[in-house]
């Protein structure tokens, strides 16, 4: 039918700086070559005039009747609710691919639960990725998400707490099974395992884990816990352990090595760890497992580091990559030392030190001027003020001061210390017992340790590990477990995107998916689930992950 191809179009024209909009009746047709064409049948008038007279709606109704469709008024169409769909759809696909619904059913065992514990854990994990908040707030957030076939609106606060208990009870089994799943999914070569430690503070002090210790959050006023995390070279978490807040980093290594060897049956690999992990006991414990290690030494670790760095010259170094060099020297107990030099790091350290010294000397200069004035401070006041200046700026590392018998303040640079610092600029020393690891490979492997550090940043910033509000030890550990599960999903998402030809962060992908909503609509008593359009970038994410685009509309009571 010719009429079935007609439609209305608004065309805009300009005349002498003014814009005019006209309603036109347009016919769509195909030419003899089969190409789609359009032609204007007639101009019906200016849009504003037609709208004012009511003829605009009349023309719409005429076309609807011609095409055999009945116009729907507001009285027969209702939009009942909208839920976030894009992010949950992608994350649930990964959740199922990792077999987590089955794993939680297995973890539940014979426990007769009157709520969907797997859905509760899933909601808590996805919440860390989409809009981190407290467990109390999750019960209000989850019903606004399109989460599979479950009904999150039926879950209350007590259900989320009981789900945490279930997660804690099955944590070891989940880690081991997920390790196997991820290994199969990505064909992991576990030649490198990275390990590092961080801390996170509590809001309260009721938990037995809450202790004061070295705070990486710069919150020494708060009790904290210590978290150890082992990941693959791809950044995928293998295992984590939670310790009391006053636990020294160095004491956590042996236990993690035993777990990697025993629970995960990782036979031979290179364990890479950062400064603070080195002790005679740790190195011996790693050797006894048959593992190789690559561990950074503290820059001020006595004669061992000083001897390896030598006079600070570049003789014997080979270039690893642009701006990064390395050389090998003999180490103790048959180990090898790899001395690395980063040009970029050298410039940063030199600039930071010179700025610190200049600022500190300026403050001491002002104090010295006061000591030479008509009403100079007393001896004790000068000592107190000078000490405060040096401590606040860490200038005591490089500057000295004294109060002369005349009451004058004198100060200067510690030239021997500064000469030692210049030799160390940009250098770090690695220790390994692997006889086959080249200096260049060792240097690049250590640089990959940043994946663990990134993991900690993600846990604490993007996934909001803190603040920790629970007080029972089991639930604190389960809260950490939820965050690590979320980090696993994040890393799997990034790996799959990269393999699908769309390298981007998980956070950027979830932001691209955020506009996609699922809308519950009712038309003439019939209910439909309708999806909004997928933005271009969201469509690219689906294609990179190999996911089908869901149906635009689903009838609920057809």
Contacts of 394 (CB under 8 A, 6+ apart): 356
In this structure, the strands spanning 526-531 and 553-555 are antiparallel
How many CA atoms within 13 Å lie on the side-chain side of 135?
23
Contacts of 48 (CB under 8 A, 6+ apart): 21
Question: Looking at the domain assignment, is residue 319 inside a domain?
Answer: yes
Structure tokens at 334: 């048959």
Please state at what angle helix 473-499 crosses helix 536-545, rounded to 10 degrees.
90
> What backbone torsions phi and psi does residue 326 show, to the nearest 5 degrees?
-155, 155
pLDDT of residue 301: 61
The number of angstroms, rounded, from the C-alpha of 509 to the middle of its chain's C-alpha atoms is: 12
Residue 530, class by beta-carbon neighbours within 10 Å (0-12 exposed, 13-18 middle, 19+ buried)? middle
Residue (of 509, 518, 519) closest to 539 by Cα position? 509
Residue (of 384, 383, 421) closest to 403 by Cα position? 383
Mean pLDDT by 10 residues, the chain (558 residues): 62 80 80 79 81 75 60 60 92 93 78 81 93 86 82 84 90 90 81 82 72 77 84 86 86 84 77 77 81 83 84 90 91 90 93 95 95 91 94 91 94 94 91 89 83 68 65 86 92 93 93 92 80 93 93 76
How many whole angstroms separate alpha carbon 227 and alpha carbon 237?
13
Q: Is residue 182 a contact partner of residue 188, using CB atoms and an 8 Å limit?
A: yes
Question: Looking at the domain assignment, is residue 482 inside a domain?
Answer: no
pLDDT of residue 510: 95
Question: Looking at the domain assignment, is residue 316 inside a domain?
Answer: yes
How many CA atoms within 13 Å lie on the side-chain side of 362?
7
Structure tokens at 108: 């539940």
pLDDT of residue 1: 37
Residue with tokens 């236990």: 255
Residue with tokens 């019906």: 44
In this structure, the strands spanning 36-46 and 399-403 are unpaired
Please state at what angle helix 86-97 crosses helix 473-499, rounded to 10 degrees.
100
Question: Looking at the domain assignment, is residue 38 inside a domain?
Answer: yes
Structure tokens at 411: 């100060």
Question: Looking at the domain assignment, is residue 405 inside a domain?
Answer: yes
pLDDT of residue 183: 86
pTM: 0.73
Sheet containing strand 77-84, edge to edge, reads 77-84, 517-523, 526-531, 553-555
Q: Is residue 521 a contact partner of residue 555, using CB atoms and an 8 Å limit?
A: no
Q: Is residue 85 classed as helix, strand or coil in its secondary structure?
A: coil
Q: Is residue 446 a contact partner of residue 295, using CB atoms and an 8 Å limit?
A: no
Structure tokens at 314: 């570049």
Residue (of 243, 307, 299, 247) closest to 275 by Cα position? 299
Question: Looking at the domain assignment, is residue 18 inside a domain?
Answer: yes
Question: Looking at the domain assignment, is residue 395 inside a domain?
Answer: yes
pLDDT of residue 358: 95
Q: Is residue 437 a contact partner of residue 183, using CB atoms and an 8 Å limit?
A: no
> What backbone torsions phi and psi does residue 539 show, to the nearest 5 degrees?
-65, -40
How many whole angstroms separate alpha carbon 259 and alpha carbon 179?
13
pLDDT of residue 303: 84
Q: Provide the number of structural domains found in the chain.
A: 2
Q: Which of 52, 71, 90 is the last residue of a domain?
A: 71
Residue 401, class by beta-carbon neighbours within 10 Å (0-12 exposed, 13-18 middle, 19+ buried)? buried
How many whole angstroms separate alpha carbon 519 and alpha carbon 81?
6
Q: Is residue 199 a contact partner of residue 248, using CB atoms and an 8 Å limit?
A: no
Length of the chain counted residue by residue: 558
Q: Which of 402, 433, 464 is the last residue of a domain?
A: 433
> What backbone torsions phi and psi does residue 70 show, to the nearest 5 degrees?
-100, 130
Taking the CA atoms of residue 335, residue 341, residue 345 and residue 347 in that order, the dihedral angle to the nearest 10 degrees is 150
How many whole angstroms separate alpha carbon 356 and alpha carbon 372?
25
Q: Which of 433, 467, 485 is the last residue of a domain?
A: 433
- Domain ranges, residue 9: 3-71
Residue 59, class by beta-carbon neighbours within 10 Å (0-12 exposed, 13-18 middle, 19+ buried)? middle
Question: Looking at the domain assignment, is residue 165 inside a domain?
Answer: no
pLDDT of residue 2: 40
Q: Is residue 159 a contact partner of residue 124, using CB atoms and an 8 Å limit?
A: no
């Amino acid at each position: 039918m010719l009429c079935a191809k007609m439609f209305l179009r608004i065309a805009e024209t300009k005349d002498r700086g003014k814009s005019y909009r006209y309603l036109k009746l347009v016919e769509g047709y195909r030419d003899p070559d089969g190409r789609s064409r359009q032609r204007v049948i007639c101009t019906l008038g200016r849009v504003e005039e037609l709208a004012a007279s009511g003829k605009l709606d009349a023309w719409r109704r005429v076309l609807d009747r011609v095409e055999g469709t009945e116009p729907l008024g507001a009285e027969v169409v209702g939009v009942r609710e909208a839920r976030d769909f894009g992010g949950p759809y992608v994350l649930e696909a990964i959740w199922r691919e990792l077999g987590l619904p089955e794993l939680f059913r297995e973890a539940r065992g014979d426990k007769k639960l009157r709520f969907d514990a797997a859905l509760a854990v899933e909601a808590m994990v996805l919440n860390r990725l989409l809009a981190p908040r407290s467990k109390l707030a999750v019960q209000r957030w989850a019903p606004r998400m399109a989460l599979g076939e479950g009904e999150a609106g039926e879950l209350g606060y007590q259900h989320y707490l009981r789900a945490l208990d279930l997660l804690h009870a099955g944590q070891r089994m989940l880690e081991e099974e997920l390790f196997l799943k991820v290994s199969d999914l990505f064909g992991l070569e576990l030649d490198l395992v990275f390990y590092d430690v961080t801390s996170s503070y509590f809001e309260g002090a009721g938990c037995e884990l809450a202790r004061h210790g070295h705070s990486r959050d710069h919150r020494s006023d708060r009790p904290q816990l210590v978290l150890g995390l082992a990941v693959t070279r791809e950044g995928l978490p293998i295992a984590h352990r939670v310790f009391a807040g006053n636990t020294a980093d160095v004491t956590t290594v042996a236990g993690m090595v035993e777990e990697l060897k025993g629970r995960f049956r990782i036979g031979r690999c290179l364990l890479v760890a950062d400064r603070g992990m080195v002790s005679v006991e740790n190195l011996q414990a790693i050797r006894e497992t048959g593992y190789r290690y690559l561990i950074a030494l503290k820059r001020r670790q006595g004669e061992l580091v000083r001897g390896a760095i030598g006079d600070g010259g570049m003789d014997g170094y080979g270039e690893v990559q642009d701006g990064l060099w390395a050389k090998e020297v003999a180490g103790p107990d048959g180990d090898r030392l790899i001395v690395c030099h980063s040009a970029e790091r050298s410039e940063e350290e030199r600039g930071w030190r010179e700025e610190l010294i200049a600022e500190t000397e300026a403050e001491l200069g002002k104090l010295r001027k006061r000591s030479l004035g008509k009403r100079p401070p007393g001896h004790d006041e000068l000592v107190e003020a000078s000490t405060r200046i040096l401590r606040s700026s860490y200038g005591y590392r490089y500057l000295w001061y004294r109060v002369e018998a005349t009451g004058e303040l004198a100060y200067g640079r510690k030239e021997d210390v500064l000469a030692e610092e210049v030799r160390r600029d940009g250098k770090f020393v690695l220790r390994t017992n692997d006889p086959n690891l080249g200096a260049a490979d060792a240097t690049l492997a250590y640089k990959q340790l940043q994946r663990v550090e990134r993991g900690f940043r993600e846990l604490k910033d993007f996934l909001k590990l803190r603040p920790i509000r629970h007080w029972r030890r089991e639930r604190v550990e389960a809260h950490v477990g939820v965050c690590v599960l979320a980090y696993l999903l994040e890393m799997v998402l990034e790996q799959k995107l990269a393999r699908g030809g769309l390298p981007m962060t998980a956070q950027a992908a979830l932001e691209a998916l955020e506009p996609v909503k699922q809308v519950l609509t009712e038309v003439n008593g019939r209910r439909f689930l309708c999806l909004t359009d997928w933005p271009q970038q969201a469509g690219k994410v689906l294609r990179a992950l190999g996911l089908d685009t869901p149906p635009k509309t689903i009838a609920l009571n057809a």
